[in-house]
Structure 1
Amino acid sequence: MSDKKIGIDKIGLYLPPYYIDMVDLAHERGEDADKYTLGLGQEKMAVPPESQDTVSMAANAALQILDDDDREKIDLVVLATETGIDKSKAGSVYIHHLTGIQPFARSIEMKQACYSGTAGLQLAVSHIANHPGSRALVIASDIAKYGLNSGGEPTQGAGAVAMLIKEDPRIAIVEPDSVSMSRDIMDFWKPNYLEYPEVKGQYSSMQYLDVLSKVWAEYQKRHDVTVEDFESFIFHIPFTKLGEKGLRKVMKGAAEDKKAELKKHYEHTRLLSKNAGNIYTGSLFLGFLSSLVNDPHLSAGDRIGAFSYGSGAVGEFFSMELVEDYRERIDLEAIQSLFDNRHKLSIQEYEDSYNKELPVDGSEYETDYSGDNSAIIVAGIKDHERQYRVR
């Protein structure tokens, strides 16, 4: 077993090259724009073209951070997703190949709604502890779709967050303090035979907040800590207003100056999510990345509390400690360019794109990737096999 600190050494992001404005969507749906921008806390929604799926997005995110040394030392690849492309083959096997990782690696896919990104992170930390000197690649990649004109439509999104896990990390140490809980509920689920998920929106939000309250209380009891022991908190944020409600739960009873400080931090945490939407398994880590990129009040040694939630349900609270010069490990320019270089779609263009799905009848198909300049794309389907292209 390794006695070294283990955690996140690199973190990368991929977003599709298209988005819609939430004000435009609200007007088209006959809603007050404030319902989406203030009530949900969302401003833009990432829209994936047919040339991107969870595998290609994950591989694109990984390419942002991997170098040749990483490729030689990675021996675990984890894809966390709830929008997988195959009922048997793990998407991580494709990613392992597309990113050029050495052959003697374990590749798996994990599922538990939006929680499995955290499960993948914890698995990777345990793996590194048992295999000193190795590295692990964990990618949370998802496409959130509820259907046009549905109640969940304004909480859609798409994207992937990739993390390199190793000893002596240069961004954040993952502390061995996690507390999890499970409860068998039906707040959000996706039967194999349905195109879109079944959702009990208000009930799901209530369950999210109740699980948070209970797992946070248990965490405090086990580790004898209070809100004062944390500089900032990050949350799973399917829409950023829910994370704000979660923060209120966590800081209940705290001094007013501490509450004001935590609220200030949270505003930085949600900036990227406000402009990307819900990316399911990657949502928590998009919030973490947003803090790293945008929050000028964080510094080395700060303790970050993290709450992960996946409907159905599993919740977990854990903490991370920022290390010296963590911002230097992040490609700020690449992340900013993802947002700056996106093409805005009209609502009609978005709806046309939404209904343009890859065939499910086994027929051969070539995607239209003319507007997608991503390094890795889905070029089509042949003989029931997705054709990925590295450019």
Structure 2
Amino acid sequence: MDPATARLTASPACLELAASLRDTSPRDALAVAGRLRKAGHEPALVAAAMSLAELRREARPRLGDAADAMVFHRAGLEQASRAVASALHAERFAEAGCRAVADLTAGLGADARAVAARGLGVVAFEADEATAVLAAHNLSPWPDARVIHGDSLALLEGADVDGVFADPARRNARGRRHDPADYSPPLDQVLDLATRYRALGVKAGPGLPHEAVPEGFEAQWVSVDGDVVEVGLWAGAAARRAGHSALVVRGEERHEIAGPTDRAPAGPLGAYLLEPDGAVIRAGLVGVLAAQLGAHLVDPSIAYLTADAPIATPFARAYRVLERLPLDVKVLARELHARDIGTIDIKKRGVDLTPEQLRPRLKLRGSGRATLVLTRLEGRHAALLVEPV
């Protein structure tokens, strides 16, 4: 988006028109646009309002009702933190006792808004002029929040803040997403700010290598309703501990686990299979979880746990093992046909065969539903017929 379009999008006329289109169905977009132009609205204004209304609809699942008061462009919306994640970031700075926070990579201002809503001052930097225009509108309800268009690292020294947050861009022309050398601004330069400010937080991709976490930082992998959305690197007063932790968010519930990244012991398959949450796996805390639950790995190289008794935990999904089968398509097809299974949910870990490859080869036509886990057990490929607990 160019700066002129951004200013048009944030204009009172566009905001009013977009609000009137809140409940317009996408399938009616062409007819509605034609009606608005016929009513005398400028084509550029109609296009901007239609686009904004569409982006607000897409933003609601991620940002909630706040999306109806915000302005967006598509690239910024795709990169914006979910509302629940932004609230977690803001909570860290509030707990750290910060009075003002610099957001080095403001984007459309989702994280900066959450910090401002906690009553803290905000200086939001954005390198792209059009995005800065939109962010200024999104932060306008808070008088102690301001947006600066420019290079954040070059201008940070002049900002009167005691906390710093950054969500560096993680894509480059080579397509790599998890190499810290490709972050913008550079990850090492952002992490070096930890010694200069009361609190530092950096949102990174969940695939960040463990060796990229500086000594003394807290690295917390976060999953929201089953999706691993980020790893937060926290330092100074924003860190609750040094080392690795995992936060599992499901609805209104939050559950946290932390500890050393030791591997769990492996042993024979028990009556129950446990699939650790992705945040626990990414954080390297499967061993900690196994010790807490009295469980063990099904194989030294596979992040499935097993136990002989049912276990309820927010950090893993539990399945009752119904039968262990060889990972042989003919055998699996025969056994599933015998059970009248027509729909199969397939999970895999540690095997090359994909659900997309296996499902059509089974040729299922039954009326029942089952869950099949393809994995390694004691060094050998196997298939487990299981049912969720």
- Length-normalised TM-score, structure 1: 0.24
